[in-house]
């Protein structure tokens, strides 16, 4: 296990269907306003659903115009917006070009510049690919958001880009902590983002996983997921580094557990073995007992298989009685499933929940299905918390699982 | 923290299966592949040398019923992992003799373009036939971590599973993350490496973007283990992963290569310093094919390793090939001839400014 180097969270940034900064997001979230509505970024004709958690407040161009990043994709702009907010809160912005020189970037994404690539393919089919401006697909690789953020912020430390489906940005946060603990860097800007695009929308429709109504994670009547978009980014620093420069830690990142189901490409293992192993590993590596976790931000997609599997996995780790006392929020009911960005988005939500000692509600939840574990889903209204430790779960295609654990700042 | 060693190598390259073809090709020093011609915008045509992987039959490795559900990149990566698994002297997945439980086996794949062929095909169908006609198989195979998901299923690897992308440097980034995972006790064994296949549309696009004139396909998987575990099962050890370092050049545009020799030298120095083996016997340089970037790399190497011979595998295998995985494989093979206090260093840079380096040293005495 890593030598125990403490890691502070000193800045948070978020953009999603509920708002383009943490203040607007949080006020909307605790008031239970849903961000899922009609999607107009592409034609959903023939799909079972026509809704998503689309970002309506476009990224602030003043924020993303810094640096000389050209041709930024929608995902790039989301990540840049959230990153600027996070470094500003951390007190790292405006400190001259050297303030972030040693910081690294670790971002996850899955769709990245896909909307731009879709236009390129459409026009290529119409006009011939030989006539297409190839520069329009420069932002397609999932490494592009990290490159754009690094260039904008002048971050010269390690750079990692993760594309492990829906665990991408949760793993990015965990691996950022690994790099800090291995003394590669004093701090990392970590998280991730993704954008809505026809490719994923049609793909999930083909897999019959879209709910025509806003998703209702863990509810007995759930019919599938609602897609979303945005970015969630945080500044992680070696604790002493943060304190020495006068920063105020917002929370502490303890550790993470990462596993793989090794079972099926698109379906979780029915016993939730990989999910429960990730949660158990995160607890063990954080030096915690299951009874110390006071809040869980669940993966909670709203699909039949994910929610039933995750519920069983949570019960396996926390026990039949334990799950009755842990308030659980499924944030995807608020802003949809941000795919590769969801782990970053939900990690930011979890840290905000710990800071405010308040769990946002899970929209649409009314009752659990027969035979499902009796989870304590926060529904209807936000719930006051009284806890020190929280967990955020992310599970993805390919059987990848990742659980993150944060604690309140002392 | 555990020390980490390389005990298995598997490759699928232009010369076929196995590492022997890599070594022979490097020794011969002639560029592999052939010249292909591509249309670029405004009616121009451009010739590119492309070293493609040799046609291969994956059926001896993967049952036909499973192959039907796997895209070619997933087949190639999974076969490379199986070759590495076998090379490491590990028994077949599920064998009671396997020294590690499934939960202790991790997967770290690095790839720049990932499942680009499936993605293009899926997008073409989607564009032509509409969202309602999307092909669920192509969709799931277009997800970038599909190869790592498939290999984990075939090898029952239930530990951390991660797909990283840092353009040409992806394999070194993946090896670094895998080594950290073992050092930190998250896994006892990791399949890691790099993968790049180049459908014609991708080469055509890269040609139009001004990519260097020699691109290569390929895949390399390495088996990493903790030294303690490798010794306990008396495994053959190729090399020890002794020093890791990474950084980046934020002044480099997101579609450019770093030309900052000082930054490159800094990353190389850190990898060597962390290895604790200042006696570097050979350096595997990245050689992206972009003049100014390669000149900066040469200056950095000369500053840090004034006396060490320099190898540039991309001159034989092409750039992009296995996303720096061939350099790792060749260095690991060569390191087996070194003593434990001698090292080799691999440099891998990515467009967009990522800088990665790893120092491998000879097997522990």
Q: What is the DSSP string of A234-268?
A: EEEEEHHHHHHTT----EEEEEEEEEE--S-SSS-
Q: How confident is the model at residue A1 (pLDDT cuts 50, 70, 90)?
A: very low
Question: Catalytic: which of A241, A269, A295, A299?
Answer: A299
H-type helices in A287-323, by residue range?
Answer: 304-318
Calculate mean pLDDT across residues A144-170.
95
**C-alpha–C-alpha distance, residues B345 and B285, integer Å:** 8
Q: What are A295-350's pLDDT values in tens digits? A: 999 999 999 999 999 999 999 999 999 999 999 999 999 999 999 999 999 999 99
Looking at per-residue confidence, does A97 or B176 come out higher? B176
Share of chain A above pLDDT 90, in %: 87
User: Which of A142, A136, A266, A137 is closest to A207 using CA atoms?
Assistant: A266
- What's residue A97's pLDDT? 47
- Asked whether the beta carbons of B349 and B320 are under 8 A apart, the reply is no
Please tell me what DSSP assigns to residue A16: B
CB A130 to CB B41 under 8 A? yes
Report chain A residues whose CB lies below 8 A from the CB of B128.
125
- Asked whether the beta carbons of A392 and A346 are under 8 A apart, the reply is yes
Report chain A residues whose CB lies below 8 A from the CB of B155.
262
Alpha-carbon Rg for chain B, nearest whole angstrom, is: 20
Report chain B residues whose CB lies below 8 A from the CB of A263.
153
To the nearest 10 degrees (0 to 180), the angle between helices A342-356 and A168-181 is 70
Task: Provide the 3-class DSSP secondary structure of residue A380.
Answer: coil
Minimal C-alpha gap between A93 and chain B (Å): 15
**C-alpha–C-alpha distance, residues A265 and B148, integer Å:** 10
Place of tokens 């990519």: B211
Place of tokens 């790839």: B111
Is A337 in the active site?
A: yes
Mutate to test the interface with B, among A144, A202, A263, A396 (most CBs of B within 10 A): A202
Q: What are B114-143's pLDDT values in tens digits? A: 999 999 899 989 988 888 889 999 999 999
Q: What are B290-302's pLDDT values in tens digits? A: 999 999 999 999 9
Output the average pLDDT for chain A.
Answer: 94
Nearest CB among B39, B133, B209 relative to A130 is that of B39
Is A264 in the active site?
A: no
Task: Provide the 3-class DSSP secondary structure of residue B261.
Answer: helix
Q: Which two tokens stand for residue B140?
A: 């799931």
CB B353 to CB A117 under 8 A? no
CB B120 to CB A45 under 8 A? no
Question: Catalytic: which of A166, A197, A215, A402?
Answer: A166
**C-alpha–C-alpha distance, residues A224 and A190, integer Å:** 29
Please tell me if residue A262 touches chain B, with a CB cutoff of 8 Å.
yes
CA dihedral A221, A225, A229, A234 (to 10 degrees): 80
Alpha-carbon distances of A51 from A40, A54, A215, A237, A257, rounded to whole Å: 9, 8, 10, 38, 33
Nearest CB among A3, A69, A164 relative to B163 is that of A164
- What's residue B42's pLDDT? 66
Bridge-based pairing of strands B189-196 and B218-226 is: antiparallel
Q: What are A379-408's pLDDT values in tens digits? A: 999 999 999 999 999 999 999 999 999 999
Q: What are A25-59's pLDDT values in tens digits? A: 999 999 999 999 999 999 999 999 999 999 998 77
- Asked whether the beta carbons of B9 and B85 are under 8 A apart, the reply is no
**C-alpha–C-alpha distance, residues B295 and B149, integer Å:** 39
* Count of C-beta atoms within a 10 Å radius of residue B132: 14
**C-alpha–C-alpha distance, residues B54 and B34, integer Å:** 12
Place of tokens 């995985």: B325
Q: How confident is the model at residue A370 (pLDDT cuts 50, 70, 90)?
A: very high
Q: How confident is the model at residue A2 (pLDDT cuts 50, 70, 90)?
A: very low
Task: Provide the 3-class DSSP secondary structure of residue A328.
Answer: strand
Alpha-carbon Rg for chain A, nearest whole angstrom, is: 20
CA dihedral A176, A181, A184, A188 (to 10 degrees): 30
ipTM score: 0.96
- What's residue A95's pLDDT? 54
User: Which of B210, B256, B291 is closest to B41 using CA atoms?
Assistant: B210
Q: Name A159's bridge partners.
A: A105
Q: Which two tokens stand for residue B213?
A: 């004139």
Domains and CATH numbers, chain A: 7-251 (3.40.47.10), 255-408 (3.40.47.10)
**C-alpha–C-alpha distance, residues A233 and A84, integer Å:** 9
If you write DSSP's letter for every residue of A103-172 in order, what string do you get? -EEEEE-SSTTHHHHHHHHHHHHHH-GGGS-GGGGTT-STTHHHHHHHHHHT--S-EEEE--GGGHHHHH
pTM, two decimals, is: 0.97
pLDDT at residue B93 is higher than 60 = no
What backbone torsions phi and psi does residue B36 show, to the nearest 5 degrees?
Answer: -120, 150
CB B255 to CB A398 under 8 A? no
pLDDT at residue B110 is higher than 50 = yes
Q: How confident is the model at residue A207 (pLDDT cuts 50, 70, 90)?
A: very high
Nearest residue on chain A to B133, judged by CA atoms?
A206
CB A398 to CB B161 under 8 A? yes
Top mean-pLDDT range of A119-133, A298-312, B308-322: A298-312
């Amino acid at each position: 296990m890593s030598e125990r180097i403490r890691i502070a969270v000193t800045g948070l940034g978020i953009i999603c269907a509920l708002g383009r900064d943490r203040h607007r997001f949080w006020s909307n979230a605790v008031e239970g306003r849903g961000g899922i509505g009609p999607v107009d970024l592409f034609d959903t004709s023939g799909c079972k659903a026509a809704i998503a958690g689309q970002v309506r407040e476009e990224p602030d161009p003043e924020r993303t115009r810094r640096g000389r990043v050209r041709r930024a994709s929608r995902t790039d702009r989301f990540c840049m917006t959230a990153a600027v907010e996070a470094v500003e809160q951390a007190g790292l912005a405006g400190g001259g070009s050297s303030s972030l020189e040693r910081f690294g970037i670790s971002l996850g994404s899955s769709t990245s510049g896909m909307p731009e690539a879709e236009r390129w393919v459409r026009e290529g089919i119409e006009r011939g690919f030989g006539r297409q401006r190839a520069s329009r697909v420069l932002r397609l690789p999932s490494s592009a958001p990290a490159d754009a953020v690094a260039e904008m912020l002048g971050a010269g430390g390690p750079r990692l880009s993760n594309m492990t489906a829906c665990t991408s940005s949760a793993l990015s946060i965990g691996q950022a902590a690994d790099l800090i603990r291995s003394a590669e860097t004093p701090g990392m800007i970590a998280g991730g983002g993704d954008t809505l695009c026809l490719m994923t929308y049609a793909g999930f429709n083909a897999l019959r996983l879209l709910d025509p109504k806003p998703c209702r994670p863990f509810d007995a009547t759930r019919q599938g997921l609602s897609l979303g978009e945005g970015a969630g980014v945080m500044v992680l620093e070696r604790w002493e580094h943060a304190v020495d420069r006068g920063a105020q830690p917002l929370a502490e990142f303890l550790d993470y557990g990462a596993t793989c189901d090794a079972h099926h490409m698109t379906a979780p293992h029915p016993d939730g073995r990989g999910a429960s192993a990730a949660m158990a590993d995160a607890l063990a590596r954080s030096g915690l007992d299951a009874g110390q976790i006071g809040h869980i931000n669940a993966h909670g997609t709203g699909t039949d298989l994910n929610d039933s599997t995750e519920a069983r996995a949570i019960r396996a780790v926390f026990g039949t009685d334990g799950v009755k006392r842990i308030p659980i929020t499924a944030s995807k009911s608020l802003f949809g499933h941000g795919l590769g960005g969801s782990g970053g988005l939900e990690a930011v939500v979890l840290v905000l929940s710990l800071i405010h000692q308040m769990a946002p509600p899970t929209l649409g939840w009314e009752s659990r299905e027969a035979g499902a574990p009796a989870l304590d889903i926060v529904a209807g209204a936000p719930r006051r918390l009284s806890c020190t430790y929280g967990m955020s779960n992310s599970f993805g295609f390919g059987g990848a699982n990742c659980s993150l654990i944060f604690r309140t700042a002392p | 923290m555990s020390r980490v060693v390389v005990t298995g190598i598997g490759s699928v390259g232009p010369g076929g299966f196995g590492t022997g073809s890599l070594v022979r090709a490097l020794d011969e020093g002639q560029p592999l592949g052939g010249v292909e011609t591509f249309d670029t915008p405004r009616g121009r045509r451009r010739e590119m040398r492309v070293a493609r992987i040799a046609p291969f039959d994956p059926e001896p490795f993967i049952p036909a019923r499973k192959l039907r559900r796997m895209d070619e990149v997933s087949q190639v990566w999974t076969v490379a992992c199986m070759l590495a698994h076998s090379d490491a002297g590990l028994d077949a997945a599920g064998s009671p003799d396997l020294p590690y439980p499934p939960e202790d086996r991790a997967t770290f794949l690095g790839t720049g373009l990932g499942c680009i062929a499936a993605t293009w095909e899926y997008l073409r169908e989607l564009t032509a036939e509409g969202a309602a006609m999307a092909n669920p198989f192509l969709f799931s195979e277009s997800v970038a971590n599909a190869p790592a998901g498939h290999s984990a299923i075939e090898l029952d690897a239930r530990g951390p599973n991660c797909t990283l992308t840092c353009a040409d440097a992806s394999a070194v980034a993946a090896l670094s993350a895998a080594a950290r995972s073992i050092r930190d006790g998250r896994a006892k064994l990791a399949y890691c490496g790099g993968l790049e296949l180049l459908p014609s549309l991708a080469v055509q696009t890269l040609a139009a973007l001004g990519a260097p004139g020699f691109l290569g396909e390929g895949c390399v998987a390495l088996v990493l283990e903790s030294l303690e575990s490798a010794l306990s099962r008396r495994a053959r050890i190729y090399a020890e992963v002794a020093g890791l370092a990474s950084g980046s050049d934020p002044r480099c545009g997101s579609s450019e290569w770093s030309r900052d020799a000082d930054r490159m030298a800094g990353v190389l120095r850190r990898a060597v310093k962390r290895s604790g083996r200042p006696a570097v016997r050979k350096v595997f340089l990245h050689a992206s094919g972009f003049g100014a970037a390669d000149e900066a790399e040469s200056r950095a190497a000369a500053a840090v390793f004034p006396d060490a011979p320099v190898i540039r595998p991309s001159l034989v295998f092409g750039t992009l090939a296995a996303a720096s995985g061939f350099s790792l494989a060749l260095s690991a093979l060569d390191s087996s001839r070194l003593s434990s206090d001698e090292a080799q260093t691999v440099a891998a840079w990515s467009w967009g400014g990522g800088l990665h380096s790893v120092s491998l040293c000879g097997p522990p005495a």
